[in-house]
Chains A and B, each alone.
Chain A
Amino acid sequence: MFENSLLDETGATAQFAGRFFREGFRPRYEVAEFLHQCYVVGYQSLPMVGITGFIMGMVLTLQSRPTMAQFGAESWIPTMVGLTIIREMGPIITGLIFAGKIGSSIGAELGSMRVTEQIDAMEVSGTNPFKYLVVTRVLATTLMLPVLTILADVIGLYASYLGINLKGVTTLALFVNNIFSSLTFGDVLPAVIKTFFFGFAVGIIGCYKGYHSNKGTEGVGQAANSAVVVSSLLIFVLDLLAVQITGLLGFN
């Protein structure tokens, strides 16, 4: 936005997030708008996320096969790909796609609403625009990204199953058994929990950038752009944190 330092931006974003927690859980609740945002943010992102997940699973399988074959460990491909997708690739790839699609659209939408005074108009129309626009969107991204990630995981694993069957034969039952036999709560739960934080990061950054955009149409573009950049970066940082924390908790 401005020529603000990194610390300024971080502080302002944290304050914005604090406002989300202060205002988000007090009435009145914008239920209809929240559901609509869930539909837009979650359901309408499914095709994109699904395609990405499918390709991710397929490519991981095909790429790992030559190396695994060198060690005579082709039977370990389902386990390896399964753990890779569920623990890391699913959440991070889905999160990044989500940041690109949803983070930018939220940044641009709120940014243009800000510059065309729609946010002010809401305020004078007896509506708290923060609740109506920000809280609903942040909640939607926070809750929808985990669902999207789970579906992307499943699609990716199915693609992996297809990839294995391109050069060899595995039954779906054996494939699923292979994955489940090596899977523990320590693999699934941290991976699911961290996607909530990814979703929150995408939502809060997109909303902050858009809500505080104020340089006319140029600011809208900047808002969309920096929303994607910052939220993608934040996803990686959170991922690193998640690895460290789950390690400390002894889940690794």
Chain B
Amino acid sequence: MPQRAASNHVRLGLFVLVGVAILLVTLFLLGRQQNLFSRSLVVQADFRSVSGLLTGNNVRLGGIPVGTVRKIQILNDTTVRVAMNLNRDVQPFVRKNAVATIGTDGLVGNTIINLVASPGPAPAVQAGDVLRTKVPVGIEAILGTLDISNRNLVGITHNLREITGKLNGSTSVWQLLNDEQLPINVRHSLRNVETATAHLDAASRDVLALTRGVRRGKGPAGYLFTDTAFGGRLGHAARQLAGTSDTLAATIGTLKQQLRTEAGPLNTLLVDTAFGRNMRQTMQNVNEGTRGFSQNMEALKHNFLLRGYFRRQQKKQARAALEQGGDSSAAR
């Protein structure tokens, strides 16, 4: 048996000790990292999906690792129960109302559990507690929503393209927009309306003068008041006149507003080729109507004046002349 130097044994011992010590320290550190050796607290949480969580994944509170996933088991077809080991040190900071969510460490990193504190006071968590959970915003869900949005966007742009196509193809809109006659006509009819109201004004002043004469009770007006049939006919005519002028004023007001706001029926009218023509026709009719009305008022004025003349000059034939004037006014 050869004699081996004792120093060889010392070196060998050192060599082995260092190697084994490194292994033991490594295993101890890993164990502490995974909470194998320290006393830990087991809490649970139920999820619908754990998104690939594995036993040993980290549990974080406020971004700090505070424990690891100890066990994952399926409770039923929609529930997965995850048991977590939490360090005893963090027990005071995890409240019973904390919410557990599944997350990932970075975009492509490990799946982890995040514990998020909820507002409101609650006692510290105890062993065996089941924490509330929140469905996480998974990348898949985000992508799903994005898909729907995209499909909607496709529909919207499709519709937009159709509208612009129609607008480009429609001649009536462009005609209407390009028609220089229209505003002139409108302006023209407005001027006619103005003259018509001026005449109305004059007519009503005449009526005023007439009623004054009546009040004095002299002349033909006195007689007029005695004749009840004539009075009723005159009231009727005056009422009709007022109604006509009211309608006209309303029509003009509406027309003005429509021109100013371009809202309401005008939009729907834009696509109607026939309407453009009708509109112009109508404006012309209105024009003519008001002109005719103006002439009628003129004639009425003359009628009254003539009749006043006749009264003063032919006193004896008053009733016959009055009947003739009443007929002519009624015909109006």
Query: A180 CA to B287 CA in the complex, in Å?
Result: 95
Residue in B18, B20, B26 whose CB lies within 8 Å of A188: B26
Question: When the two chains form their complex, are residues A39 and B30 in contact, meaning their CB atoms are under 8 A apart?
Answer: no
Interface segment among A144-152, A166-174, A211-219, A224-232: the answer is A144-152
Q: Which of A32, A183, A184, A185 has the most CB of B within 10 A?
A: A185
Question: When the two chains form their complex, are residues B16 and A42 in contact, meaning their CB atoms are under 8 A apart?
Answer: yes
Known: A35-B9, A36-B4. A154 touches B15 (CB 8 A): no
Query: A43 CA to B19 CA in the complex, in Å?
Result: 11
Question: When the two chains form their complex, are residues B19 and A147 in contact, meaning their CB atoms are under 8 A apart?
Answer: yes
Known: A180-B29, A180-B33. A150 touches B23 (CB 8 A): yes
**Contact code string B107-151 (vs A, CB < 8 Å = 1, else 0):** 000000000000000000000000000000000000000000000
- In the assembled complex, A68 has its CB within 8 A of some CB on chain B: no
Question: When the two chains form their complex, are residues A147 and B27 in contact, meaning their CB atoms are under 8 A apart?
Answer: no
Known: A35-B4, A36-B4, A150-B22. A43 touches B30 (CB 8 A): no
Known: A32-B1, A35-B4. A151 touches B22 (CB 8 A): yes
Residue in B11, B27, B29, B33 whose CB lies within 8 Å of A43: B11
Interface residues of A toward B: which range? 20 to 34
Give how many B residues have a beta carbon under 8 Å from the other chain's beta carbons. 22
CB distance from B55 to the nearest CB of A (A): 9
Question: When the two chains form their complex, are residues A39 and B22 in contact, meaning their CB atoms are under 8 A apart?
Answer: no
Known: A148-B19, A151-B18, A184-B56. A39 touches B9 (CB 8 A): yes
- In the assembled complex, B8 has its CB within 8 A of some CB on chain A: yes
- In the assembled complex, A38 has its CB within 8 A of some CB on chain B: yes
Query: A117 CA to B22 CA in the complex, in Å?
Result: 43
CB distance from B239 to the nearest CB of A (A): 90
Residues of B within 8 A of A55 (CB): none
CB distance from B38 to the nearest CB of A (A): 15
Residues of B within 8 A of A189 (CB): 27
**Contact code string A17-44 (vs B, CB < 8 Å = 1, else 0):** 0000000000000001101101100110
Query: A146 CA to B23 CA in the complex, in Å?
Result: 10
- In the assembled complex, B101 has its CB within 8 A of some CB on chain A: no
Query: A137 CA to B15 CA in the complex, in Å?
Result: 17
Question: When the two chains form their complex, are residues B9 and A188 in contact, meaning their CB atoms are under 8 A apart?
Answer: no
Question: When the two chains form their complex, are residues A35 and B12 in contact, meaning their CB atoms are under 8 A apart?
Answer: yes
Known: A39-B8, A43-B15, A154-B22. A188 touches B33 (CB 8 A): no
Residues of B within 8 A of A183 (CB): 26, 30
Question: When the two chains form their complex, are residues B8 and A146 in contact, meaning their CB atoms are under 8 A apart?
Answer: no
Known: A32-B4, A39-B4, A39-B8. A188 touches B27 (CB 8 A): yes
Known: A42-B12, A43-B11. A185 touches B19 (CB 8 A): no
Tell me the nearest residue of chain B to A181, going by C-beta. Answer: B33
- In the assembled complex, B34 has its CB within 8 A of some CB on chain A: yes
CB distance from A192 to the nearest CB of B (A): 6
Residues of A within 8 A of B31 (CB): 185
Known: A35-B4, A180-B30. A43 touches B56 (CB 8 A): no
Tell me the nearest residue of chain B to A183, going by C-beta. Answer: B30
CB distance from A16 to the nearest CB of B (A): 25
Residues of B within 8 A of A62 (CB): none
Question: When the two chains form their complex, are residues B30 and A42 in contact, meaning their CB atoms are under 8 A apart?
Answer: no
Question: When the two chains form their complex, are residues B30 and A147 in contact, meaning their CB atoms are under 8 A apart?
Answer: no
- In the assembled complex, A242 has its CB within 8 A of some CB on chain B: no
Tell me the nearest residue of chain B to A187, going by C-beta. Answer: B30
Question: When the two chains form their complex, are residues B19 and A150 in contact, meaning their CB atoms are under 8 A apart?
Answer: yes
Question: When the two chains form their complex, are residues A42 and B34 in contact, meaning their CB atoms are under 8 A apart?
Answer: no
Residue in A32, A33, A147, A188 whose CB lies within 8 Å of B15: A147
Residues of A within 8 A of B12 (CB): 35, 38-39, 42-43
Residues of B within 8 A of A151 (CB): 15, 18-19, 22
Tell me the nearest residue of chain B to A147, going by C-beta. Answer: B19
Residue in B1, B20, B56 whose CB lies within 8 Å of A147: B20
Query: A185 CA to B8 CA in the complex, in Å?
Result: 33
Residues of A within 8 A of B20 (CB): 147, 150
Query: A42 CA to B23 CA in the complex, in Å?
Result: 16
- Please give the residue numbers on chain B whose beta carbons come within 8 Å of chain A beta carbons, in ascending order: 1-2, 4, 8-9, 11-12, 15-16, 18-20, 22-23, 26-27, 29-31, 33-34, 56
Contacts beyond the supplied A35-B12, A151-B18, A192-B23: 15 A-B pairs with Cβ under 8 Å: A32-B1, A32-B4, A36-B2, A36-B4, A38-B12, A39-B8, A39-B12, A43-B12, A150-B20, A150-B22, A151-B19, A154-B22, A180-B30, A184-B34, A188-B30
- Please give the residue numbers on chain A whose beta carbons come within 8 Å of chain B beta carbons, in ascending order: 32-33, 35-36, 38-39, 42-43, 46, 144, 146-148, 150-151, 154, 180-181, 183-185, 188-189, 192
A-B pairs with beta carbons under 8 Å apart, 9 shown: A32-B1, A35-B9, A35-B12, A43-B15, A147-B20, A180-B33, A184-B30, A185-B31, A188-B30
Across the A-B interface, the 8 shortest Cβ-Cβ residue pairs:
A147-B19, A39-B12, A43-B15, A150-B19, A39-B8, A36-B4, A150-B22, A150-B23
